A = this chain, B = another copy of it.
Amino acid sequence: MSKKRVAIIGAGPSGMAQLRAFESAEKKGQEIPELVCFEKQDDWGGQWNYSWRTGTDHYGEPVHSSMYRNLWSNGPKEILEFAEYTFDEHFGKPISSYPPREVLWDYINGRAEQSDVKKYVKFAHAVRWVDFDEDTKLFTVHVENLRTGETTSDTYDNVIVASGHFTFPNIPNFEGIETFPGQVMHAHEFRGAETLADKDVLLIGASYSAEDIGSQAYKMGARSITYSYRTKPMGHGWPEEMEELPLVVRFEGSTAYFKNGEKRDFDAVIFCTGYKHHYPFLPSSLTLQSANNIYPDTLYRGVVSEKNNQLFWLGSQDQWLTFNMFDAQAWYTRDVILGRIELPTAEEQRAHMDQWLERFNAMKDEFDQIDFQCDYVKDLIEQTDYPMFDLDEVANIQRQWLQSKKEGIMNFRDATYTSVITGTKAAEHHTPWMLELDDSLERYLSEPDEDEARQVFRGQIREGQAR
């Protein structure tokens, strides 16, 4: 019998985790399937592979990454650390709890480079269409080599969707928005807050994108930042230049009218209105349709498609945990494909999902979500040889993190936490986040003296904002 063939779509943190999972088994003597990983970008890293481009990329494909210059982790790194590749191992010294994008890219890249999995990745290859043949029980995957334009079609026993769900913006329409003369963009297209200096900025949304882009705008000297929320305000202790108003009702030129009767004039509007699950390469018989939440229905154990048990999803949840959750999912997926884990009947799968959905539907707040996701990951890890780590303590760190934002939304990134894997206490960073305008790896890892550390490197900065 010939080897199973597995197609992995996407070489971001999830796809890389999947490759690493198989490699880990192979190193322990297990025979593994033929693997092909299709990545539409020229390099791996997914969201963490920053691009200055917006809209479509140099191949005409929708730009994948939503990250921007000056993006620093918005949660402590201690909640995303790989259990089998630690920050200590990668950096050789303690680093701070909230590293910038490039540092985290370096970390995930480091693990992948240490292994030999790049050989499985076809970069600049976009998956165009996936079919499933009920007779042969095989998927046909149609792929375009974006460099040559050549398309090929091959069959696979399994398909693993690791293409992410923070790439296709959700952008509601607002009456009159077409008359707004200033910049209008979605967070996905935001690449830096420098152009917002001295501007009155409206951010529509009340979740992570809004919170962080607003803080960036403040850091870069926006004149005012107004948040518009649909359900409830974030309620942080914002500086006086920032306020939260209810939903925009309509625009008229540069004026926005809000639900509470107030109006304001703006220079720029940024939609921080989330992302869509969007898989244009999948027929509706296979695809996942879900809002962005922490337990998308129709995925057994959050990974196996109920519609077709040969099809898997990684990282399709809204995420309190990231890299280590993807690992847990990848290890589980691997073991299903290797036959080490036997799936229960469709009815049992449904009952299992319903049980989790019941808890999901009963959640009251963010703390419940944190516990839910930590329990979910714990449950997955228990079934594989992925190293277990203290998920209760990870939940605890997350609670402290949320509390720290309440205490100081502009300096919560200066706090430090202790790794649950290595016990290493994070380093105090040389420069408070509010003063640091250089987000490069080089600068981050440097050890400037105190004066240098407080030097302003480029652009302007609000005075008196450092701790």
Copies in the complex: 2
Q: A186 contacts which chain B residues (CB < 8 A)?
A: 55
Q: A149 contacts which chain B residues (CB < 8 A)?
A: 284, 287, 289
Q: Are A54 and B280 in contact (CB-based, < 8 A)?
A: no
Q: 1/0 per position for A156-178, CB-CB distance to B under 8 A? A: 00000000000011011100011
Q: Are A181 and B280 in contact (CB-based, < 8 A)?
A: no
Tell which of A56, A151, A178, A191 has the most Cβ of chain B within 10 Å: A56
Task: Give the residue name and chain of the B residue nearest to A182 (CB).
Answer: B195
Q: Are A459 and B52 in contact (CB-based, < 8 A)?
A: no
* Least Cβ–Cβ distance between A45 and chain B, in angstroms: 15
Check A151/B284 contact, CB under 8 A, given A52-B184, A181-B195: yes
Task: Give the residue name and chain of the B residue nearest to A61 (CB).
Answer: B280
Once the chains are docked, how many angstroms separate the CA of A129 from the CA of B129?
6
Task: Give A258-294 interface residues, CB cut-off 8 Å to B.
Answer: 276, 278, 280-281, 283-285, 287, 289
Task: Give the residue name and chain of the B residue nearest to A197 (CB).
Answer: B181
Task: Give the residue name and chain of the B residue nearest to A251 (CB).
Answer: B52
Once the chains are docked, how many angstroms separate the CA of A69 from the CA of B173?
17
Q: 1/0 per position for A11-31, CB-CB distance to B under 8 A? A: 000000000000000000000
Q: Are A60 and B184 in contact (CB-based, < 8 A)?
A: no
Q: 1/0 per position for A134-158, CB-CB distance to B under 8 A? A: 0000000010100001110100000
Q: Are B55 and A144 in contact (CB-based, < 8 A)?
A: no
Q: A126 contacts which chain B residues (CB < 8 A)?
A: 280
Tell which of A129, A144, A173, A183 has the most Cβ of chain B within 10 Å: A129
Q: Are A151 and B181 in contact (CB-based, < 8 A)?
A: no
Q: Are A169 and B55 in contact (CB-based, < 8 A)?
A: yes
Q: Are B183 and A58 in contact (CB-based, < 8 A)?
A: no
Check A62/B52 contact, CB under 8 A, given A182-B194, A283-B142: no
Task: Give A104-130 interface residues, CB cut-off 8 Å to B.
Answer: 126, 128-129
Q: Are B281 and A128 in contact (CB-based, < 8 A)?
A: yes
Contact of A62 among B56, B194, B289, B458 (CB under 8 A): B56
Check A168/B60 contact, CB under 8 A, given A54-B55, A181-B195: yes
Task: Give A414-467 interface residues, CB cut-off 8 Å to B.
Answer: 458-459
* Least Cβ–Cβ distance between A311 and chain B, in angstroms: 15
A39 at the interface (CB under 8 A from B): no
A101 at the interface (CB under 8 A from B): no
Q: A341 contacts which chain B residues (CB < 8 A)?
A: none
* Least Cβ–Cβ distance between A63 and chain B, in angstroms: 8
Q: 1/0 per position for A34-78, CB-CB distance to B under 8 A? A: 000000000000000010111111101111000001000000000
A253 at the interface (CB under 8 A from B): yes
A244 at the interface (CB under 8 A from B): no
Q: A168 contacts which chain B residues (CB < 8 A)?
A: 56, 60
A233 at the interface (CB under 8 A from B): no
Q: A281 contacts which chain B residues (CB < 8 A)?
A: 128
Q: A189 contacts which chain B residues (CB < 8 A)?
A: 54-55
Q: Are B177 and A60 in contact (CB-based, < 8 A)?
A: no
Q: A171 contacts which chain B residues (CB < 8 A)?
A: 53, 57-58
A249 at the interface (CB under 8 A from B): no
Q: Are B60 and A188 in contact (CB-based, < 8 A)?
A: no
Q: Are B185 and A151 in contact (CB-based, < 8 A)?
A: no
- Known: A52-B177, A128-B281, A253-B458; 19 extra A-B contacts, CB below 8 A, are A52-B184, A54-B189, A55-B188, A56-B62, A56-B168, A58-B172, A60-B168, A60-B169, A60-B278, A61-B280, A126-B280, A142-B283, A150-B284, A151-B284, A181-B194, A181-B459, A182-B194, A182-B195, A183-B195
23 A-B residue pairs with CB within 8 Å: A52-B178, A53-B171, A54-B55, A54-B184, A54-B185, A54-B189, A55-B189, A58-B172, A60-B168, A60-B276, A62-B62, A69-B181, A128-B128, A128-B280, A144-B284, A149-B289, A151-B284, A151-B285, A153-B283, A181-B192, A182-B194, A182-B195, A253-B458
